[in-house]
Amino acid sequence: MTDRQTRQPSRRERAVLRLQSPDDILSAVPFLLRFHPENSFVFLALKGKSLVLTARVDIGKDPIDVESLADHFARVCVQHEGDGLILVAYSDLVARISGVVDDLVEALEPIQVHEALVTDGRSWWSRLDEEGQPGVGIPVDSGSSEVAARAVFAGLPALPNRAALADSVAGPGGADAAELAGVFETVLMELADLSDEERRERICLLVESFCVHRQALTPSECAELAVLSYEIALRDLAAQRIRLEDAELHVELWHQVVANTVAPFESAPLCLLGLAAWVSGNGALMVVCMERAEEVNPDYSLLGVLERINACALPPHAWEGMYAA
């Protein structure tokens, strides 16, 4: 799967990240992806001077199909109305990957590639300036860039790696899971006495309390949301409340629910978190939610929707038409 981040206006983005040099680009990428990439190709799609999409794919051990990779990212760039790209490759195998980047730049024509960097984390090379094999790289100097400071000020996170992002949706374990199982038993008994209309009102109230009134969730309320969203109709009701302007609040909401949910109730909170992540522009979070949801229940209906969204690289604004339909 491809990790994608689509630039959406955010209540946290109080600072503009100006990328004027390779060091600025290297400083910005972890905050744009929300984690520090390793062994990755990262593509930044631009519309004029504005960033519209950040996407990442793994660099594996198998030979790289340059044409397929270039075709994929060219299609995604055009789909998001982009007209230019910045390419960054992260790898210790600098000589090998430099040649691949050169081939990618050529294969991406006629889309303009504004910069093509290779970095091993210590130094960087610009393939638009190099000829042949890379020589001595330029030391990475993220300290000279204001990008990281602006990103931190804007509240953009950057986890150590993608594994840390996946861990954030792994759910409770050990003693925490055992304790929460007792909470779920109590909640199940309480919710069993509610009518259909009362359950609808309850899930709407819990979502509104967090997203509108900013009231913190208790473990019991997280369990309520997980149990209520187990019903498809109530899950869809919660999904319909996600909007472009408040999607990040729904990300926070369902992130908390996922962290406090035990089997067999994980699928709905994971997929609602993945959906909110996509609408907020956080494609990497959506993908790790999908990966865990597939382990839990590969046939889950909302997972299928997320898979189609990801495969088609739909931009977040497509959600407005989807929930209206």
The amino acid sitting at 316 is P
Alpha-carbon distance 173 to 145, whole Å? 40
Domains and CATH numbers, the chain: 3-159 (3.40.140.10), 168-324 (1.25.40)
Digitized pLDDT (tens) for each residue of the chain, 325 residues in all: 677 665 444 444 445 677 888 999 999 999 889 899 999 999 999 999 898 888 899 998 889 999 999 998 898 898 888 999 999 999 999 999 999 999 999 999 999 999 999 999 999 999 987 665 566 789 998 666 677 777 766 667 789 999 999 999 999 999 999 999 999 999 999 999 999 999 999 999 999 999 998 888 999 999 999 999 999 999 999 999 999 999 999 999 999 999 999 999 999 999 999 999 999 988 899 999 999 999 999 999 999 999 999 988 888 989 988 876 5
Residue that the structure tokens 């861990």 belong to:
167
- Cβ atoms of 293 and 265 within 8 Å: the answer is no
Q: Give me 89's structure tokens.
A: 């490759």
Alpha-carbon distance 86 to 117, whole Å? 8
3-class SS at 90? strand
Nearest CA-CA partner of 113 in 25, 3, 8:
25
Model pTM score: 0.85
